[in-house]
Structure 1
Amino acid sequence: MIQRVQTIFLFLIVVAMGIALSNPIWEKVGTQSLETAKLTALQYTQQKTVAPQAGVPTQSVPVTFEVSVWYLGLLLGLVAVSSLYAIFQFKNRLTQTALCAVNALMLTAIMGIILYRTLYAGKEFGNPADQGTFLIGFYAIVGALLFNALANRFIRRDEKLVRGSDRLR
């Protein structure tokens, strides 16, 4: 039935993916106060302010470098859609288990992309010793991993209960 506890965890995955899509995932402030790098679900942005050359009476100019990471947003959306679909597959627990396995693979890929972008690509920017700060979007993805594992556990528990009651008949 739809009022099982795994439904709550699958819904929390959908909420966590919405949070990850709408909030920044990572941020790093460079050695100078005007240098920042930010990773969101759709783009990676580096911004620094270039000081004017000696003898030229102009103001400092901000320079922005943007890289589209649309595939990260696509994966986050796919996890949300497959979790929402799994909620309504309550009559077929094997399908729910398979969807949770697919979600686990996609969430692992998301974490790999984020860690590559932040720890390797972001290391070149600003202070190499500083790894930056993970923000609420990252922790929402970690929460989704936890909720996915819990949903899978309760789906398997229900399946075991149903198979055990079939043996008693």
Structure 2
Amino acid sequence: MIQRIQTVFLFLVAVAMSLVLAFPIWHQVNPDQSQRMTLSAFSMITMDIATGDVISSESKIVIAILAILAAGLAFFSIFQYKNRTKQMFINMINSLVMVTNVGVIVWISHNANEAFNPQVNGAFVLGFWSILVGLVMNLLANRFIRKDEMLVRSVDRIR
């Protein structure tokens, strides 16, 4: 049924993955405080802090594609409530997509940090942490789906 608690968790997964698209993921400032590098779901932008001019911009669309895919899988999983096994499988695939997204972000930010300012680590911000919140919500949804499946099987066994 669509009004189960796992539906709320899956909706929160979709919201969390939408936050990845809306907010920055990683920031870094160079040693002389004159430039700032910001990673978002769509691009990596290096800006001059004093003037606000964009020095360079690189497309990082793979992060946005993975975030949109994870949000889409979460919405699709909400409407698979009649087949709990399929719903758990979709959520497992969604977890893999989100973990892949985290891996891609860490790899991109590490490489950018090495080139920009290797003495100081950059800071992960809201966009990054929302992926981890989405991952936890996805795991909670799977737990409650599995709980429902075990309840249905126990009732069938009693009959």
With over 3 angstroms needed to count, the CA separation of the structure-2 counterparts of 1:63 and 1:166, relative to structure 1, is closer
With over 3 angstroms needed to count, the CA separation of the structure-2 counterparts of 1:101 and 1:64, relative to structure 1, is same
Q: Distance in 2 between matches of 1:116 and 1:106?
A: 15
By percentage of residues, which structure has more helix?
A: 2
Residue 165 (1) aligns with residue 158 (2): no
Q: Distance in 1 between matches of 2:116 and 2:91?
A: 36
Shift of 1:47: 3.0
Q: Distance in 2 between matches of 1:46 and 1:91?
A: 48
Shift of 1:123: 2.3
Structure 2 unmatched ranges of 5 or more = none
Shift of 1:18: 1.1
- 2:40 maps to 40
User: How many residues matched?
Assistant: 158
Does the aligned pair in 2 maintain the 1:75–1:106 contact within 8 Å? yes
- 1:123 maps to 114
Structure 1 unmatched ranges of 5 or more = 50-59
Q: Distance in 1 between matches of 2:52 and 2:68?
A: 36
Structure with larger Rg:
1
Question: Counterparts in 2 of 1:49-64, with a 5 A limit?
Answer: 64=55
Shift of 1:10: 0.1
Q: Secondary structure at the match of 2:47?
A: strand
Q: Normalized against structure 2, the TM-score is what?
A: 0.93
